[in-house]
Amino acid sequence: MSNNIYLKKGLDLPISGEAAQSTKKVIVPDVVAVKPTDFRGLVPKLLVKEGDKVLAGSPVLADKMSQNILFTSPVSGTVAEVVRGEKRKLLEVRIKADAEQEYVDFGVKNVAEMTAEQIKEAILKAGLWPALTQRPYGIIANPEAKPKAIFVSAFTTAPLAANPEFALGADVEYIQTAVNALSKLTDGGVHFSLNSENYSGTPFHKVENVIQHTFTGKHPAGNVGVQIHHISPIRKGETVWTVSLVMLAAIGKLFSTGKYDVRRKIAVTGPKAISPAYVEGYPGIAIKDVAEFYNAAENLRFVSGDVLTGTNVGANGYLGFFDNQITILEEGDKYELLGWAKPVRCSQYSSSRTYFSWLTPKKKYAMDTNLHGGPRAFVVNDVYGKVLPMDLFPVHLLKACLANNIDDMEKFGIYEVLEEDLALCEFVCPSKIYIQQIITDGIALMLKEMC
């Protein structure tokens, strides 16, 4: 086992609703959605119109700025609706799925005999290039660039996240194929991070042709951004690429089977999920496809992803491209009279010792979305530093973003973070500051002014 990196800071949320390791159903979708909003900075070009027939792997969208980057349909079927928002912004392309799936045949390929350019071309043509995320900024990787290295987190610490061994343990061969392919796209190698506490129990420690690292610690130890910070921090002018295990499996299937196959096991989780478990489906499936997991009469929030960083898609929404988790929570819209004067709350969790939850460290809580207050003065304190295992000054970075001060944003680490890396800071924030939105706005400014 490689040298272990021990992170002392972090916080594991004791939220109830973990998915049992069993697959409850295989979803045969009626409609799936391809969502340009899943990709930061994308200016989409529509390639289809309503009524068009598509196969799984047929191009649906292209990037206007780099039209060789395609976004393809996860299923075969008919384009049912093109959904637009304000100023005709393209929000979704909804595809009515066929009962029997047909795939574009991209051809089986031997990665060992391919050049880097051939691998790029194959991934681009099949529409899997958007699976590669470039840092800084978390944008789609530039196919014309060569990254310093490629990073993969082979474990997760996010609340109620899908178990990688259960969800992807059968795809190790495909993951190995993808690693072999992507290793040709960089001189810095593929860095593979594993959980030291489960090193021998995970099949991913057998993946070859990687540079292994192990981490010990609470969330966000599983975040690839935190791992990059401790392995090889990003400096100005440098770029690295990241890719998830889910998308590695899809890239491996492309080379091994010749198909655009993005099927995945999806964890349906959360305090309001009925008998949380896994389903097998596609990115873009409708939340209604898991209707048996919740009571539609209740006032619920449906999150594509985890509770800290996921997207509120609503009961009529669709699963995101990168996500393999749906979280179902109660909307916290109930007013609590004199809540500040009630220190004894046995059913409430506190990351500090405000309540008495610290006396029952193994208890799980049915958390809802109530903020228990609104935004207030941004007080400088050390509460963020207790949960952020990165050598940064988060308050200074956030204030630089608020002030649109690019020099200070660079100085305090805007190149190293995405919203997910500071999500815990938002959770513990005593001022109820929308920290992730501040980082989003800061990155948008950097993209506008620096790229």
Q: What is the largest CA-CA distance in the chain?
A: 69
pLDDT at 23 exceeding the cut of 90 = yes
- The string of pLDDT tens digits covering residues 192-229 is 999 999 999 999 999 999 999 999 999 999 999 999 99
Residue linked to tokens 């039209």: 67
Name the band, by pLDDT with cuts 50, 70 and 90, for residue 360: confident
Residues 6+ apart with CB under 8 A from 71: 34, 36, 39, 44, 59, 60, 61, 62, 63, 127, 130
- The string of pLDDT tens digits covering residues 340-352 is 666 667 778 888 8
Query: Do 250 and 39 meet the contact criterion of CB atoms below 8 Å apart?
Result: no
Question: How are strands ordered across the β-sheet holding 31-34?
Answer: 31-34, 90-97, 77-84, 53-54
pLDDT at 329 exceeding the cut of 70 = yes
| Rounded Cα gap, residues 168 and 245, in angstroms | 8
Name the band, by pLDDT with cuts 50, 70 and 90, for residue 377: confident
Name the band, by pLDDT with cuts 50, 70 and 90, for residue 399: very high
Token readout for 335 is 């007013």
Reference 316, options 331, 333, 305, 304; nearest CA is 304
Map out the domains of the chain as residue ranges: 4-26+110-257, 384-450
Name the band, by pLDDT with cuts 50, 70 and 90, for residue 376: confident
How many CB atoms neighbour CB 310 within 10 A? 21
What burial class does residue 305 get, using C-beta atoms within 10 Å of its C-beta: 0-12 exposed, 13-18 middle, 19+ buried?
buried
Confidence (pLDDT) at 354? 74
Confidence (pLDDT) at 355? 75
- The string of pLDDT tens digits covering residues 244-276 is 999 999 999 999 999 999 999 999 999 999 999
Q: What is the DSSP letter of 135?
A: E
Q: What is the DSSP letter of 233?
A: P
Alpha carbon 449 to chain centroid, angstroms:
26
Query: Do 430 and 381 meet the contact criterion of CB atoms below 8 Å apart?
Result: yes
Q: How far apart are the first and last CA of the chain?
A: 40
Query: Do 243 and 236 meet the contact criterion of CB atoms below 8 Å apart?
Result: no
Reference 55, options 342, 252, 258, 248; nearest CA is 258
pLDDT at 381 exceeding the cut of 90 = no
Query: Do 228 and 246 meet the contact criterion of CB atoms below 8 Å apart?
Result: no
More confident of the two residues 181 and 378: 181
pTM of the model: 0.95
- The string of pLDDT tens digits covering residues 145-189 is 999 999 999 999 999 999 999 999 999 999 999 999 999 999 999
Confidence (pLDDT) at 347? 76
What burial class does residue 451 get, using C-beta atoms within 10 Å of its C-beta: 0-12 exposed, 13-18 middle, 19+ buried?
exposed
| Rounded Cα gap, residues 271 and 77, in angstroms | 35
Question: How many residues belong to the chain?
Answer: 451
pLDDT at 1 exceeding the cut of 60 = no
Confidence (pLDDT) at 349? 85
Reference 106, options 128, 84, 87, 90; nearest CA is 128
Confidence (pLDDT) at 131? 98
Phi and psi, residue 103, nearest 5°: -120, 145
Amino acid at 27: I
Name the band, by pLDDT with cuts 50, 70 and 90, for residue 70: very high
Reference 434, options 392, 398, 382; nearest CA is 398
Residue linked to tokens 């980057």: 69
Residues 6+ apart with CB under 8 A from 238: 148, 415
Instruction: Please list the residues that pair with 265 across neighbouring strands.
Output: 280
**Mean pLDDT in the chain?**
94
Question: How are strands ordered across the β-sheet holding 66-72?
Answer: 44-46, 59-63, 66-72
Alpha carbon 329 to chain centroid, angstroms:
19
Confidence (pLDDT) at 356? 74
Confidence (pLDDT) at 341? 63
| Rounded Cα gap, residues 162 and 207, in angstroms | 20
Q: Of 215-224, 296-305, 333-342, 364-373, where does mean pLDDT reach its minimum?
A: 333-342
Mean pLDDT, range 83-103, rounded to an integer: 96
Query: Do 328 and 293 meet the contact criterion of CB atoms below 8 Å apart?
Result: yes
